[in-house]
């Protein structure tokens, strides 16, 4: 029977390991309850090791975070749907933590590291970093590479401001498609007409499209044989989408529906948002225009709502305005699909099936909103035959 004790402001656990030897180990427990819970976990693990149900811990004096990360990549990373998270960890964790022994990594150190990434990572990405750290330590604990509480467990998650989805209005969609370069038009039209994700679109093959039955089979994503939801779905082909699909099938030089010009698959990080914003700029769907004087040494620059060339107020040289497209991402075309369907009166449950959300609550949370004009129309329905503001009280 193991025990716990406190020494020099630290909680220790005493237990028999998988080889039957007594071990005294310092923990990161901050309360007696946590220490007892940790002791129980270690005793269960040791019992499973003695019965051959779990491998014995590796005999290393000091396992580094880099070694634990490599172990996680080998055991877990190979099963991931996308390798993006692996590259993410390599970029943001290897240099800072790789050489440190696991026992020297504390919750405060991890919190400082994550907060230091604020200038380069959004709150959502920093939370992904915290999740990755938690998973690496969890595997290290299960494999006996680290004994103690998971230091990432107590690192607080960063609160993310909720933003309404950005989308194109119904009358803006044809403007965007018209100003797109010809080779991109079928891809973007399919995105708007189906709400498919970027990775799913890039992985589409000609064999996935059946124009006779009017369906698209969505069963894989970029670099993976499965979609985000790990299932295969059939999407109906809208009447307006069919011509774009015929064009894509006729012009593609390979089995891919939307390949690069040489027939190979686009990289997962292909900058489709830049293609979109160029089209938005040409279509006049902008936030404004930068009016910059090109005369050397003048330095005049101003942001205005109009794009009409005018003389520089400093030197008189003609200013050439540059469009500032609305900062839409390619994923916002998926938001466009959902929002326009809802505005057209399509039931939320149907929109959820089209978007293929695994949980209907996701659809409700992200798209169950009304924009200002929708709310204005709703409030304008209120008619109380109210008196004029200056009418005397009766």
> Domain extents for the chain?
3-50, 65-142, 173-272, 286-325, 339-379
Q: What is the pLDDT at residue 372?
A: 56
Q: What is the pLDDT at residue 192?
A: 95
How far, CA to CA in Å, does 106 sit from each of 28, 88, 113?
Answer: 8, 21, 11
On the CB side of 231, CA atoms within 13 Å amount to 9
- pLDDT reading at 226 higher than 80: no
- pLDDT reading at 386 higher than 90: no
Give me the mean pLDDT over the 199-210 stretch.
Answer: 94
C-alpha to C-alpha distance for 41 and 63, rounded to whole angstroms: 20
The DSSP bridge partners found for residue 301 are 292
Name the pLDDT band for 391 (thresholds 50, 70, 90): low
Q: What is the pLDDT at residue 179?
A: 93
Q: Token digits for 181?
A: 């370069």
Percentage of the chain with pLDDT > 70? 85
Rounded to 5 degrees, what are φ and ψ at 342? Answer: -65, -40
**Where would I find the H helices in 180-230?**
185-194, 198-203
Tell the burial category of 36 from Cβ atoms under 10 Å away from its Cβ (0-12, 13-18, 19+).
middle
Per residue in 270-297, pLDDT tens?
999 999 999 999 999 999 999 999 888 8
- pLDDT reading at 194 higher than 90: yes
3-state DSSP assignment of residue 322? strand
C-alpha to C-alpha distance for 238 and 175, rounded to whole angstroms: 19
C-alpha to C-alpha distance for 141 and 133, rounded to whole angstroms: 12
CATH architecture of 65-142: Orthogonal Bundle (1.10)
Give me the mean pLDDT over the 40-58 stretch.
Answer: 77
Per residue in 18-46, pLDDT tens?
777 788 887 777 888 888 888 888 888 88
**Residues with Cβ within 8 Å of residue 326, at least 6 apart in sequence:** 166, 277, 280, 285, 286, 287
C-alpha to C-alpha distance for 275 and 176, rounded to whole angstroms: 10
| Fold topology of 173-272 | hpI Integrase; Chain A (1.10.443)
Tell the burial category of 175 from Cβ atoms under 10 Å away from its Cβ (0-12, 13-18, 19+).
middle
Adjacency order of strands within the sheet including 320-325: 301-304, 286-292, 320-325
- pLDDT reading at 368 higher than 80: no
What average pLDDT is seen over the chain? 84
> What pTM did the predictor assign?
0.64
* Nearest of 145, 135, 144, 149 to residue 67 by alpha carbon: 145
* Nearest of 228, 273, 266 to residue 82 by alpha carbon: 228
How far, CA to CA in Å, does 92 sit from each of 78, 121, 136?
Answer: 19, 10, 14
Q: What is the pLDDT at residue 78?
A: 62
On the CB side of 14, CA atoms within 13 Å amount to 8
C-alpha to C-alpha distance for 303 and 307, rounded to whole angstroms: 10
**Residues with Cβ within 8 Å of residue 49, at least 6 apart in sequence:** 17, 18, 55, 56, 57, 144
C-alpha to C-alpha distance for 118 and 125, rounded to whole angstroms: 9
Q: Please report which helix (H) or strand (E) contains residue 177, including its range.
A: helix 173-179
Alpha-carbon dihedral sign for residues 64, 66, 71, 77: positive
């Amino acid at each position: 029977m193991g025990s716990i004790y406190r020494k020099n402001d630290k909680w220790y656990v005493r237990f028999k390991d998988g080889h039957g030897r007594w071990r005294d180990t310092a923990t990161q427990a901050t309360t007696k309850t946590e220490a007892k819970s940790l002791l129980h976990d270690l005793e269960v693990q040791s019992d499973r090791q003695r019965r051959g149900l779990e491998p014995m811990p590796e005999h290393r004096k000091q396992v580094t975070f880099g070694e634990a990360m490599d172990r996680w990549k080998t055991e877990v990373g190979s099963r991931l749907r996308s390798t993006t998270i692996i590259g993410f960890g390599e970029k943001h964790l290897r240099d800072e933590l790789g050489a440190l022994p696991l026992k020297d990594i504390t919750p405060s150190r991890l919190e400082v590291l994550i907060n230091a990434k604020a200038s380069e990572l959004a709150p959502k990405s920093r939370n992904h970093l915290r999740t990755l750290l938690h998973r690496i330590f969890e595997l290290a604990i299960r494999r006996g590479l680290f004994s103690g509480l998971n230091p990432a467990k107590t690192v607080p998650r960063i609160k993310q401001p909720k933003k309404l989805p950005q989308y194109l209005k119904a009358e803006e969609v044809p403007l965007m498609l018209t100003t797109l370069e010809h080779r991109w038009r079928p891809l973007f039209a399919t995105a708007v007409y189906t709400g498919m994700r970027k990775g799913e679109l890039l992985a589409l093959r000609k064999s996935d499209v059946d124009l006779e039955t009017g369906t698209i089979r969505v069963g894989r994503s970029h670099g993976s044989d499965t979609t985000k939801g790990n299932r295969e779905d059939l999407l109906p082909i809208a009447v307006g989408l069919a011509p774009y699909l015929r064009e894509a099938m006729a012009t593609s030089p390979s089995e891919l529906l939307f390949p690069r010009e040489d027939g190979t698959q686009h990289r997962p990080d292909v900058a489709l948002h830049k293609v979109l914003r160029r089209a938005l700029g040409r279509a006049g769907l902008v936030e404004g225009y930068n009016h910059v004087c090109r005369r050397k040494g003048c330095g005049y620059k101003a942001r205005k709502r109009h794009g009409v060339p005018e003389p520089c107020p400093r030197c008189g040289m003609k200013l050439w305005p540059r469009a500032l497209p609305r900062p839409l991402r390619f994923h916002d075309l998926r938001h466009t699909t959902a929002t326009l369907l809802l505005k057209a009166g399509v039931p939320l449950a149907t929109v959820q099936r089209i978007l293929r959300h695994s949980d209907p609550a996701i659809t409700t949370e992200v798209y169950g909103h009304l924009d200002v004009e929708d709310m204005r129309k709703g409030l304008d329905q209120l008619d109380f035959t109210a008196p004029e503001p200056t009418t005397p009280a009766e």
